[in-house]
């Protein structure tokens, strides 16, 4: 036994030593190469340009460190050949691309992936994306986007994991692992880029690129955790954000890039700007010209400039004037070269173009995409168990999203090919006798001329399935909205279907949580599918038919009205929280006295609560939590919070429940959120089955940034919930001493 232990220890030591040796070897190579470089060549490495073969000449001169937006393997090889074979030092370029939720095989948008609460599956999806993209020569993706988003007006809510720091962390780390794989130097490994550092999701009013005002404590408690976790997981690169925080644009913020990222977190990867975010500091009114913006960016800790052209044009001058130290440039270039060595680009700079196409759309990739789409669908309503439609033959399929192969791919699907999309219409035709009457041509269509045809067709069907939502262009970067109702005449279409008296199932395919309260009233069942990607049609048909029971949960709060935004479950309490008594507009007597409604925190029109809370989602079966018991209700700061419970499938079908564990710190040196997600797990249960489950959480996980700006657990009273969403369950008390 002892020998066995020693052997195991020896093996571990060897692995660690080998890791260190590899690291030292890379550092040695970086320094050696750096010592040969002229200032001009160093600056070239810091310059990233969008384009393809047209950039070969610049690459041959050593004036480009990276290209983006080229996915043609032949063009990539041409630029690479120029860099490797013609430039003086032969330093390869690194090719970046926004591979956000798949490359060719498109997975659900990241918000949909978050709804799966399935990090393992998300990791698998990111691996698929890496294999497909690297086969084209792309070794760097600008993903994952870790921006916490609590305002669905912001179009980029589609690109992240929603409102919760813990879920965001789990999803972000899963993506980093999937993209980067087990061996960075393997040709199928793609560097991740965690973005946008930081606070971009907090843009005022949900309007893209807008200002933010986030305190350091909020940054640390809410916006940093996923970034820190991804740094710890080995994310190779980081992108600065467009926004300013309290007047300082992120691209010129040395507190963020040097004090926090490098010094506190020990990040040794590479920092890139967002597209022209260095140059945009002029429009912000933070820099007077591109030269000053360059000085600010480099001195703040940016290594590579994406598309502002300031670094390539002004660094030399700034160094000569003593405004940027050459040692600062050396550090930046070290970070860039380290990345290229880590990815093995010096040894294997080229891509084998003969294998590019075969890497795309493999049966395994399509299956992973299908599973992801199935797990991401959220059942919001199912009156009378209308779904699944397992006892009907003839259905009417209607709505502008039923057969929208481009739009169901969602935002940032640059390399997805709509001809590979399986739409719901196509998939349902394989399983039912389908009458198809789209009613509207696209989501914004206001022409109601065809709605009468829908009603007539409904008379011939046993059930109606209405596919509505948003076209891909309505969410994503620069696509914010101030009204979040279904666009065009889609609500009218649903109302028309309801008049038929047939069971009406609504499927929403969108880039954000829309305000669908009025539409819920006009249907029997509603399935919410954030743009589900290539295999969305098959996945949704599997659910509609009952092959799969829905298991997705809302990764973001669903609002009654956009006017409630920002709204998130893990908010702090006001001094006058709503106690459940709300007097709404219609109930207010005329000339009511000023204080007669009570004085608590709610809206007179939409009330206090959301439409659906974070973590919510139904299944075709039902689940019951029982016997929740803590190992101990008094814990020390270095203890472990153990909690056990039974979960029973109380319905008649097999299903999967996403079990969620929340805590609340009742009194803190600063006000603490009313609930915080600490753990979750997908649990599969056969009909009637009970499983005994257990969570163990180190008390250290209850730490936060205190009034003294220390990260620690404060002793005191806590509560814990184990439940199926953020608004359910009973609190269980415990104390930390």
Interacting residues toward ligand NOJ by CB under 6 A: 98, 142, 195, 274-275, 477
Residue 136 beta carbon to ligand NOJ: minimum distance, rounded to whole angstroms: 16
Distance, in Å, from the CA atom of 290 to the CA atom of 279, rounded to the nearest integer, reads 6
Nearer to ligand NOJ, 152 or 476 (CB): 476
User: How far apart are the C-alpha atoms of 93 and 341, rounded to whole Å?
Assistant: 11
How many whole angstroms separate alpha carbon 410 and alpha carbon 539? 16
Minimal CA–CA distance to 225: which of 556, 659, 676? 676
Whole-number minimum distance, CB 415 to ligand NOJ, in Å?
13
Distance between CA 61 and CA 310 in Å, rounded? 18
Catalytic residue among 274, 305, 407, 519: 274
Q: DSSP string covering 401-465, please?
A: TTT-TTGGG-SS-TT--GGG---HHHHHHTTSEEEE--SSSSTT----TTHHHHHHHHTT-SEEE
525 forms beta bridges with 382, 505
Q: Which is nearer to ligand NOJ, 44 or 476 (CB)?
A: 476
Residue 158 or 315 with smaller CB distance to ligand NOJ: 158
Task: Tell the smallest beta-carbon distance from residue 275 to ligand NOJ (Å).
Answer: 4
Q: Choose between 69 and 218: whose C-beta lies nearer to ligand NOJ.
A: 69
- What are the structure tokens assigned to 10, written together? 């020896």
The interaxial angle of helices 326-342 and 310-320, nearest 10 deg, is 140
Facing residues of 662 across strands? 677, 721
DSSP line for 303-329: -BEES--HHHHHHHHHHHTTSS-HHHH
- In the complex with ligand NOJ, the residue whose CB is nearer, 160 or 537, is 160
Which helix H or strand E contains 527, and what residues bound it?
Answer: strand 525-530
Question: Which CB sits closer to ligand NOJ, 208 or 657?
Answer: 208
Q: What b/e readout covers 652-669, taking b as 16+ CB neighbours within 10 angstroms?
A: ebbbbbbbbbbbbbeeee
Cα–Cα distance, 415 to 101 (Å, whole number)? 10
| Nearest alpha-carbon partner for 477 in 304, 274, 305 | 274
Structural tokens at position 495:
């109302």
> Cβ neighbours of residue 40 under 8 Å, at least 6 residues apart?
62, 63, 316
3-state secondary structure of 125: helix
CA dist., res. 610 & res. 380, Å (int): 13
* 181, two tokens: 């794989």
Q: Which residue is nearest to ligand NOJ (CB)?
A: 142
Q: Least distance from C-beta 242 to ligand NOJ, angstroms?
A: 6
Known catalytic residue: 403? no
CA distance 383 to 721: 27
**Closest CB to ligand NOJ among 139 and 560?**
139
Q: Which is nearer to ligand NOJ, 256 or 379 (CB)?
A: 256
Minimum distance from residue 276 beta carbon to ligand NOJ (Å): 9
Nearer to ligand NOJ, 439 or 476 (CB): 476
For residues 413 and 494, which CB has a smaller minimum distance to ligand NOJ in the complex?
413
3-state SS class at 690? strand
Question: How is residue 262 annotated by DSSP?
Answer: I
Q: Identify the residue whose tokens are 């206090």.
A: 608
CB 562 within 8 A of CB 486: no
CB of 274 to ligand NOJ, least distance (A): 5
Tokens found for residue 474: 């309505």
Least distance (Å) from ligand NOJ to the CB of residue 358?
A: 27
Nearer of residues 242 and 602 to ligand NOJ, judged by Cβ: 242
Q: Residue 216 class from Cβ within 10 Å (0-12 exposed, 13-18 middle, 19+ buried)?
A: middle
Sheet containing 655-665: order of strands:
634-635, 732-736, 716-723, 655-665, 676-685
- Quick check: bond before 223 cis, omega within 30? no
Q: Shortest distance, CB of residue 476 to ligand NOJ, whole angstroms?
A: 10
- 299/314 Cα distance (integer angstroms): 13
Q: Which is nearer to ligand NOJ, 100 or 402 (CB)?
A: 100
Least distance from ligand NOJ to the Cβ atom of residue 473, Å: 16
In 3D space, the residue among 138, 130, 24, 46 whose CA is nearest the CA of residue 91 turns out to be 46
In whole angstroms, the minimum distance from the beta carbon of 477 to ligand NOJ comes to 5
What does the alpha-carbon distance between residue 273 and residue 718 come to, in Å, rounded to a whole number?
41
Give min distance, CB of 156 to ligand NOJ, in A: 8
Task: Quote the least distance from Cβ 192 to ligand NOJ, whole Å.
Answer: 12
CA distance 266 to 262: 5
Catalytic residues: 274
């Amino acid at each position: 036994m002892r020998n066995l232990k020693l052997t195991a220890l020896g093996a571990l030591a060897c692995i660690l030593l080998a890791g260190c040796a590899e690291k030292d070897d890379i550092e040695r190579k970086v320094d050696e190469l750096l010592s040969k470089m002229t200032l001009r060549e160093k600056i070239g490495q810091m310059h990233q340009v969008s384009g393809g073969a047209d950039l070969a000449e610049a690459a041959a001169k050593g004036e480009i460190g990276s290209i983006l937006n080229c996915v043609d393997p032949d063009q990539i090889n041409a630029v690479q050949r120029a860099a490797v074979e013609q430039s003086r030092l032969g330093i390869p370029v690194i090719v970046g691309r926004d591979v956000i939720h798949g490359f060719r095989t498109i997975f659900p948008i990241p918000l949909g992936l978050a709804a799966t609460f399935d990090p393992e599956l998300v990791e698998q999806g990111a691996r698929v994306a890496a294999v497909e993209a690297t086969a084209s020569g792309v070794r760097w993706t600008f993903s994952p986007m870790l921006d916490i988003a609590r305002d669905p007006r912001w179009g980029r809510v589609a690109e992240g994991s929603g409102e919760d720091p813990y879920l965001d962390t789990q999803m972000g780390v899963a993506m980093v692992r999937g993209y980067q794989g087990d061996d960075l130097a393997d040709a199928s490994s793609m560097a991740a880029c965690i973005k946008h550092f930081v606070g971009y999701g907090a843009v005022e009013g949900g309007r893209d690129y807008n200002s933010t005002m986030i305190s350091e404590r909020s940054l640390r408690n809410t916006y940093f955790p996923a970034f820190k976790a991804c740094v710890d997981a080995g994310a190779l690169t980081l992108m600065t954000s467009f926004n300013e925080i309290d007047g300082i644009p992120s691209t010129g913020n040395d507190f963020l890039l040097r004090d926090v990222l490098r010094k506190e977190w020990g990040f040794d990867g590479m920092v890139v700007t967002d597209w022209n975010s260095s140059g945009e500091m002029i429009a912000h009114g933070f820099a007077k010209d591109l030269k000053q913006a360059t000085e600010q960016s480099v001195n703040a800790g940016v290594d590579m400039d994406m598309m502002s052209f300031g670094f390539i044009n002004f660094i030399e001058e700034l160094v000569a004037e003593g405004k940027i130290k050459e040692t600062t440039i050396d550090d930046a270039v070290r970070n860039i070269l380290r990345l290229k060595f880590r990815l093995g680009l010096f040894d294997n700079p080229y891509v084998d173009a003969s294998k590019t196409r075969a890497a795309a759309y493999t049966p395994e990739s399509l299956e992973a995409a299908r599973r992801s789409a199935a797990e991401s669908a959220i059942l919001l309503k199912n009156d009378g168990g209308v779904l699944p439609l397992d006892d009907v033959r003839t259905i009417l399929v209607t709505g502008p999203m039923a057969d929208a192969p481009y739009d169901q791919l969602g935002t940032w699907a640059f390399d997805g090919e709509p001809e590979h999309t399986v739409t719901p219409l196509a998939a349902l035709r394989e399983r039912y006798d389908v009458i198809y009457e789209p009613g509207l041509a696209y989501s914004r269509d206001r022409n109601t001329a065809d709605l009468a045809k829908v009603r007539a067709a409904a008379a011939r069907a046993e059930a109606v399935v209405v596919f509505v939502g948003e076209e891909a262009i309505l969410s994503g970067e620069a696509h914010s909205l101030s009204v979040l109702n279904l666009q065009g005449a889609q609500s009218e279409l649903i109302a028309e279907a309801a008049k038929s008296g047939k069971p009406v199932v609504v499927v929403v395919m969108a880039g954000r949580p829309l305000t669908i309260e009025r539409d819920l009233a006009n249907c029997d069942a509603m399935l919410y599918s954030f743009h589900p990607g290539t295999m969305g049609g098959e996945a949704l048909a599997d659910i509609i038919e009952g092959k799969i029971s829905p298991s997705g949960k809302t990764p973001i709060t669903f609002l009654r009205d956009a006017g409630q935004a920002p709204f998130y479950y893990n908010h702090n309490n006001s001094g006058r929280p709503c106690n459940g008594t709300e007097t709404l507009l219609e109930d207010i007597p005329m000339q009511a006295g000023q204080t007669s409604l009570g004085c608590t925190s709610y809206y007179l029109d939409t009330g206090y609560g959301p439409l659906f809370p974070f973590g919510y989602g139904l299944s075709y079966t039902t689940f019951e939590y029982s016997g929740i018991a803590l190992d101990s209700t008094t814990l020390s700061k270095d203890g472990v919070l153990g909690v056990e419970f039974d979960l029973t499938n109380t319905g008649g079908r097999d299903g999967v429940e996403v079990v969620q564990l929340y805590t609340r710190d009742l009194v803190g040196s600063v006000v603490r959120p009313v609930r915080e997600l600490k753990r979750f797990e997908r649990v599969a249960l056969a009909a009637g089955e009970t499983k005994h489950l257990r969570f163990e959480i180190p008390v250290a996980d209850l730490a936060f940034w205190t009034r003294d700006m220390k990260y620690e657990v404060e002793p005191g009273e806590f509560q814990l919930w184990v439940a199926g969403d953020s608004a359910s369950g009973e609190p269980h008390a415990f104390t930390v001493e």
